[in-house]
Structure 1
Amino acid sequence: MNVERVIERLRDYRAQNERFDRLVTAVMSNELTGKAVRAAVIKADAISRSRRRASPGEYETVFFIAGEMRSGTSWLRRTLSAHPEIACGHEGSFFGRGYEREEIPVYTAPVSSLTRALAGSEELRVWHGLPWNRWSDDYEADLRNLVRLSVDYFLSKEVARTGKRIVGDKSPQHTENLDEIHEYYPDARVIHIVRDGRDVAVSAMHHWWREAKDRPGGIFELTREELEIRDAYLADREGFLKSGRSIFTEERLRQLARRWSHRVGKARRDGTALFGDRYLEIRYEDLLQDTPATLFKVLEFLGARRGDPIVERCIRASSFERVSSRRQGEEDATSFFRKGVAGDWKNVFTERDRRVYGEIAGRRLAEMGYEVP
């Protein structure tokens, strides 16, 4: 998006259409009508953009990857970024206006987002309300437009850097905030990657162990009991599991089950209802079992080239062996890419773990097509 061109066009339009502008302001004061008008304007802009040749820094298609933590979002991001037409940044953390802290308290520092930074700026609100600037009539509408322009600015930087035409972002907050994303980007495409919540729990626990605060550079706050469990597991994995011990405290497992069930369910509901055919749901297990077919579906959804050589190039760039220097299935508890398999929870969950997780998230597991003992 060329920001200067947009602002100049808006200035000219406003000067020449003061009466119509007052009418639009009145219409926009109705929240439901306002949302519909904003969505129509943004979609019209997207159609206009797609019909002209993109200038450097302008994108043709924007998308966002959603997925609960440890569900393969990083794998999918890396795979898509290897495509000659697709740029997908690491974690922009653009959205999450009400997202202040993690609901599972292993990370106690404040969490922010671009929307939260702008919406929470008292200086911005004071400046916008100055009586002599003559644009203090609709702070929320102006804030929405500022967010869209700001996110577009960072996405356009990525497009300019890479020379690609399709741009996206994957961030942990997306799964919780598809409704907020739709406020700013009703024209976006959303890819929701879902993984069996029990595998998510196992992977998350290993991730927190590896990055616990008792280790250099660690950020996660684990209990003394969890650290003792970690050390016992790492000292003798086979003996630990044969003894019937769990890698989870019961409270931590309940937290993980509640979060997975809520976030996955909310993303499916919001994605389907708000984005319609611009929402694509894929499963981690399908991407693992038949990577070419699943990736072909994703590329088709994004409108990207999908010939065999391109698909093979993307798969090679993100293969488990390439990123971990190990064969798939070989565990390294110290690596971000720990094992790269599906169904490992069956080797780790105790009877208590199965019961507890099933009580909280069993219905969601079944809804998402997973086996529930």
Structure 2
Amino acid sequence: MSDPVIIVGAPRSGTNMLRDVLSALTGFATWDCDEINLIWKHGNIGVPHDELTAEDARPEVATYLRKAFADFGRKHRADVVVEKTCATSLRVGFVAAALPDARYVFIRRDGIDATASAIKRWNAPFDLRYTLKKVRYVPARDFPVHFASFVGKKVKQLRTGTAGIADGQTKVETWWGPRPHDFRELMQQHTLEEAAFIQWQRCVERSREDFNSLPDDRMIEVVYEDFVKDPDAGLREILGFLGRDDAYDPTATKNVRNSSVGKGRATLGSDVTARLDAIGHDTLAALGYA
């Protein structure tokens, strides 16, 4: 039986990097697509947001998710199944109820750096190869609903002229990434840069709240800025937490770079940074970023 390891983090906070590092190790495996949010939402497809709770992990939902992880582990002969979906940062309690044996690697990054990076992804042009990889893991009976939602989003982007737009001052016309319960109101009330920052803030705050209810030995917290500064030490610490010291491989971190630290703040400039800080100062300060 494979051990599930769930990487939790807001968008553009190093979750992809960490997944790639861990899945490069012998005995570790992960899905060959960016995220499996549509698997996580199976059984709760009618919930328009990602803030699922333990009550949403009904027996049939938990059984489905456990089977998905077990089948994947057997297929790939993996000792550890690594999974990264950013929306999980809004539903750790749900995942803990569905996968009671899972352990978590929570990675956090300066919210303003993460916001600057997320803005570039928000209205990104259609990528067929990326989309087809994710489609392979859509539960069959959920496909019509997800397809209709996807087409509707792309049509709206084309109609409003926001496809490919990365101007943080523009209004949000379609949502990208983890959906808080009030994401529709956030779209109406905020610019893209504000919505992306609030998304980061909600993901981090909800994750920290849910982790408070789990035993300490279920979660390790990783600071992005520290990890990219010394990825070798960071990897060793994570493997120690997982009890997998023997899996260490120095080549797993060969592509980790620290060039993005502080880049987002510089790109956004002092005026935007000050405005975002005013929105989420308490959260930034609690994490040492203010």
Same structural fold, with TM-score higher than 0.5 when normalized by the shorter chain: yes
Matches within 5 A, 1:276-291: 276-291=216-231
Residue from 109, 116, 125 that aligns with 1:195: 109
Match of 1:221, SS state, is: helix
- CA distance in 1: counterparts of 2:28 and 2:166, whole angstroms: 42
Tell me if 1:114 matches 2:42.
Answer: yes
Residue from 197, 208, 212 that aligns with 2:125: 212
Partner of 2:70: 156
Tell me if 1:92 matches 2:36.
Answer: yes
Residue from 11, 15, 18 that aligns with 1:76: 18
Partner of 2:147: none
Residue from 201, 210, 223 that aligns with 1:261: 201
Match of 1:273, SS state, is: coil
Partner of 1:296: 236
8 A contact 1:159–1:167 mirrored in 2: yes
- CA distance in 2: counterparts of 1:67 and 1:369, whole angstroms: 17
Tell me if 1:358 matches 2:272.
Answer: no
- CA distance in 2: counterparts of 1:229 and 1:263, whole angstroms: 21
Residue from 303, 320, 341 that aligns with 2:260: 341
Q: After TM superposition, give the deviation of residue 149 of structure 1 in Å.
A: 2.2
| Per-residue deviation, residues 52-81 of structure 1 (Å, max 9, x unmatched) | xxxxxx22x222111111111111111111
Residue from 87, 101, 112 that aligns with 1:173: 87
Match of 1:69, SS state, is: coil
Partner of 2:253: 315
Query: Which structure is larger by alpha-carbon Rg, 1 or 2?
Result: 1
Q: After TM superposition, give the deviation of residue 142 of structure 1 in Å.
A: 12
> Root-mean-square deviation (CA), in Å?
3.3
Identify if the C-alpha distance between structure 1 residues 212 and 303 changes in structure 2 by more than 3 Å, giving closer, same or farther. same
8 A contact 2:10–2:200 mirrored in 1: yes
Q: After TM superposition, give the deviation of residue 203 of structure 1 in Å.
A: 0.6
Residue from 30, 51, 65 that aligns with 2:7: 65
Q: After TM superposition, give the deviation of residue 229 of structure 1 in Å.
A: 6.6
Structure 2: 5+ residue stretches without partners: 48-53, 132-152, 171-189
Match of 1:114, SS state, is: coil
- CA distance in 1: counterparts of 2:165 and 2:88, whole angstroms: 33
Structure with the bigger RCO (C-alpha within 8 Å, sep 6+) is 2
Q: After TM superposition, give the deviation of residue 213 of structure 1 in Å.
A: 5.9
8 A contact 1:189–1:275 mirrored in 2: no
Partner of 1:55: none
- CA distance in 2: counterparts of 1:268 and 1:95, whole angstroms: 23
- Number of corresponding residues: 239
Identify if the C-alpha distance between structure 1 residues 262 and 92 changes in structure 2 by more than 3 Å, giving closer, same or farther. same
Match of 1:349, SS state, is: helix
| Per-residue deviation, residues 303-327 of structure 1 (Å, max 9, x unmatched) | 21346xx3313213xx15xxxxxxx
Q: After TM superposition, give the deviation of residue 202 of structure 1 in Å.
A: 0.9
Partner of 2:99: 185
Identify if the C-alpha distance between structure 1 residues 221 and 288 changes in structure 2 by more than 3 Å, giving closer, same or farther. farther
Percent of aligned pairs with the same residue? 24
Q: After TM superposition, give the deviation of residue 171 of structure 1 in Å.
A: 0.8
My pick for the range that moved more, 158-167 or 284-293, is 158-167
| Per-residue deviation, residues 248-292 of structure 1 (Å, max 9, x unmatched) | 447222212222112101101211322432111111111110101
Divergent runs of 4+, >3 A: 140-143, 212-230, 247-250
TM-score (norm. length: structure 1): 0.56
- CA distance in 2: counterparts of 1:189 and 1:229, whole angstroms: 35
Partner of 1:134: none
Identify if the C-alpha distance between structure 1 residues 64 and 214 changes in structure 2 by more than 3 Å, giving closer, same or farther. closer
